Structure 1
């Protein structure tokens, strides 16, 4: 799953429009649309803002690869 997929999934769970999420996160609806469609890679700061707005937790990790 991409970050945009995760954002869209959580937004839809909340039954929020893109405009509502944008308003809650202090950004434009077009930014949400571009993130969800994969046309914009969000920064960690933006993902944190979106997670906070959606009452979610942002967790980042680096996992080992096994060859």
Structure 2
């Protein structure tokens, strides 16, 4: 099995790509979207790491 096909790898790759975007070439709205996306992906990463030692407090607002 190709290790690039596991969700953890794809999550890491996505976070890495978001963190390497050139912020000075983006609009304020795009920077805000990337900030939100990065925060959500980091929260997801905490939830998917077994034994991370941290408890996740997640809420879904309707």
Is the helix fraction higher in 1 or 2? 2
| Fold equivalence (TM over 0.5) | no
TM-score, normalising length: structure 2: 0.30
- Specify the structure having the higher radius of gyration (Cα): 2
TM-score, normalising length: structure 1: 0.29
